[in-house]
Amino acid sequence: MPFASFTPFLSLKIFLPFLSLPKLLSTDRKLFSPSRIVATSAMESKSPCVLVLCGKSSTENELAASLKNNNTLKLPDNAKVSVLLHSEIENPFEDECFQINSFMNSLSTTRFGQFLIWSPRLPSTHDVISNNFCELPIGAVCAADVQFKGRGRSKNLWESPRGCLMFSFTIQMEDGRVVPFVQYVVSLAMTEAIKDVCAKKGLPHLEVRIKWPNDLYINGLKVGGVLCTSTYRSKKFNVSAGIGLNVDNEKPTTCLNAALQKLTSGASQLHREDLLAAFFNKFENFFDLFINEGFLPLEELYYKTWLHSGQRVIIQETNEDQLIENVVTIQGLTSSGYLLAFGDDSQMCELHPDGNSFDFFKGLVRRKLA
C-alpha cells in the first residue's frame, strides 16, 4: 500500500503492545526416523515432537550433540521430545519441508541463526525457545513447518499450517529502557529482508508495511506478526522473539507469493529458507546498531515503513460519565516506545493501548505530555 494512499479514519485492527518490564510487552503432521520422514495423521498428536539440531560451525554442532546426549531440551507440560542431529539424517527431507542446508548456505551472520532447531510439527516455536533459553546460545532459532499452538497477544492461539515461515529466537539485552523497542527492530528487519530477497532474485518489489506495534501488512491485508516476551535474570533481559509470516499460504488473509504473482508473469517464488537467512543477516546489523546507538539511527527507515505518520485517530475519553471524542494526529514514537501524537489544540500526548479493544481507533488511551 503506497504510503500516500493511507486513508485517515480507515478502520484498522492491530495487535496491542506486549511490553512491560521486567516481563516484556508482554505445521503437516510428520514423524521421521534417521532415514526418512513418513506421514502421520492428526490423531497421532501424542507422538513425540521431533527436533532436529544443526549448527553453522563445529562449535554449534558440538553443542547440538551435547544437548541431544544429555536430553536437555524440554517442552511445556512434559511433552515428549525426540531429538536428532541433522548430520544423522540421510536424505529425509521432502521438497515442502524446510531445507536446512539452503538456510545455512545463505546465512552470513556471526551470531544470530548459527544454531538451528527445526521441527516438522510443533505446538509452538516460542515455547521451545523460552523454555530452553538458558541452555541455548544467544541467537539460536527454532523453526517449524507446522505450528498448532502458536502464541499471540493476550494468550491467543495462533495456528499455522504449511506455507508459513514460523520461527522464534533468543536475544539478550542489558538496558531495560530500550527493551520495548526490540519488536520494532525485528519488524523492520523482516520488511528489509523481504526487499533484499526480491532484489537478489530479480523479483518485483513487495511493499510490506508495519502496523504498530507488531503486525506486517501488504496491500491492506495482514501477512505476518511479531511476538516478543522477556524475563529478567542475572541483571539481563532474556528476550524470546518470534515471527509468523505467510509466505505461500493465502488463508486466512493473503501471502507474499500471492502478492508477487500479481506483479509478475513468471513462476518465481519466495522461499522460507531464503527469507529466514536474509532476516538474520539484516537483523544482526540492525541489532548491533540499536544496542550501540539506540533506536534513533533506525527511526527514519522505520517511519518510511510503518503506516501511521500523519494518521488522524479518534481518542474516546470519559469525563463525568460523558463520552468525549478527540482527534489527534500521530507523529512518531515517544522515548518509551508508544505513539507520539498532537491534538488539534497542539497539545502533545502519548497514546497507549487500553488493554482491551482491538480497534485501533477505540483502543488507545491518551496521556498528556508536558
Q: Which of 63, 147, 116 is nearest to 277 (CA)?
A: 116
State how beta strands 312-319 and 236-246 pair.
unpaired
* Cα–Cα distance, 21 to 102 (Å, whole number): 38
Q: What is the pLDDT of residue 27?
A: 31
Q: What is the pLDDT of residue 266?
A: 74
Tell me the whole-structure pTM to 2 decimals.
0.84
Q: What is the pLDDT of residue 91?
A: 60
Q: What is the pLDDT of residue 15?
A: 30
* Cα–Cα distance, 251 to 24 (Å, whole number): 30
Cell of 111: 551470531
Q: pLDDT tens digits, residue range 98-151?
A: 999 999 999 999 999 999 999 999 999 999 999 999 999 999 999 999 987 655
Q: pLDDT tens digits, residue range 186-213?
A: 999 999 999 999 999 999 999 999 999 8
Q: How many CB atoms lie within 10 A of CB 92?
A: 19
Q: Are 287 and 191 in contact (CB under 8 A)?
A: no
* Cα–Cα distance, 178 to 163 (Å, whole number): 33
Enumerate residue ranges in the chain where pLDDT < 70: 1-46, 91-95, 149-161, 354-363, 370
- Tell me if the bond preceding 120 is cis, omega within 30° of 0: no
Q: What is the pLDDT of residue 169?
A: 98
* Cα–Cα distance, 336 to 18 (Å, whole number): 13
